[in-house]
Amino acid sequence: MEQAVVGAYVARLGVPRPDRLDAAALRALHRAHQETVPFENLSIHLGERISLDPGDLVDKIVHRRRGGFCYELNGLFALLLRALGARVEYLGARVHGGGTLTAPIAHLALLVHAADGGGPWLADVGFGAHSTYPLRWEEPWVQEDPGGGFRLVRVGDEVEVTRDGQPQYRIDPRPIALTDCVPTCWWTATSPESHFTTGTVCSRLTGDGRISLAEDRLIRTVAGVKSEETLDGDAAILAAYHEHFGLDLPHVPRTGTRVDPAAR
């Protein structure tokens, strides 16, 4: 990643550029990323092509100030951390849902070794509501985080991540390449069986909770208390995307919009 892009990316996150990626810098970037770059699937419902090419990710997330889902967000965050001196590995995971596990690489997470030799940490800015800060990889007991109590537990050759006792996803610790995610990214963006194609979601961390917009429902969680507001009409929805997520969209994302199936 070019140094000019590193500077623009860090500026996008609204934090000072660290001289060296130590544990404190990783924590600050991890939280800032979730507060400023929304977890969203809007490209699917705007008819936009989704690309995992690094240049396209920089254009979308840094320059156009959009968000994305795991392959995009963690895919680009890894490049930033590497540019700041960290050693980062992409890890594929199977996600829990409905009592079953998905296919491999349904989720992308990161294993980070800091530039000062600290870590490793599990970093994940692309799972929606998750840990605010990175989680220590080799710590088997509960790690308390603003997002909940997290554990990383060995299950055979894999590592299961739980939140408040509930399994979230199961990681294959063998490193993969970002290009290995292209098939599942394509499936996620196009399959009628993917929950990302059946509705819109846009969500980010806030200083005291989380704010999300799903279709026309604006959902706020403050200090654990959730409230919901139904927005009246397209103008109100577009205004909410701008006010709460910094997104200036050409029109309201519509479920069922035809998506270009090309994802690379």
CA distance 85 to 19: 10
CA distance 6 to 149: 32
What does the block give as tokens for 142?
A: 């509960």
Question: Looking at residue 256, what is its pLDDT?
Answer: 67
- Amino acid residing at 203: S
What does the block give as tokens for 38?
A: 């929304």
pTM score, whole prediction: 0.94
Q: What are phi and psi of 135, to 5 degrees?
A: -110, 140
CA distance 125 to 112: 13
Write b or e for each residue in 203-229: b if 16 or more Cβ atoms lie within 10 A of its Cβ, otherwise e: bbbeeeebbbbebbebebbeeeeeeee
Question: Looking at residue 224, what is its pLDDT?
Answer: 85
Are residues 173 and 158 in contact, defined by beta-carbon separation less than 8 angstroms? yes
pLDDT in tens, the chain (264 residues): 999 999 999 999 999 999 889 999 999 999 999 999 999 999 999 999 999 999 999 999 999 999 999 999 999 999 999 999 999 999 999 999 888 999 999 999 999 999 888 889 999 999 989 999 999 998 889 999 999 999 999 999 999 999 999 999 999 999 999 999 999 999 999 999 998 999 999 999 999 999 999 999 999 999 889 999 999 999 999 999 999 999 999 999 988 654 444 443
Question: Looking at residue 97, what is its pLDDT?
Answer: 87
User: What DSSP designation does 58 have?
Assistant: I
Are residues 39 and 74 in contact, defined by beta-carbon separation less than 8 angstroms? no
Residue-range domain boundaries for the chain: 191-245
Q: Which residues pair with 214 in a beta bridge?
A: 217
Question: Looking at residue 257, what is its pLDDT?
Answer: 55
Q: Which residues are catalytic?
A: 70, 107, 124
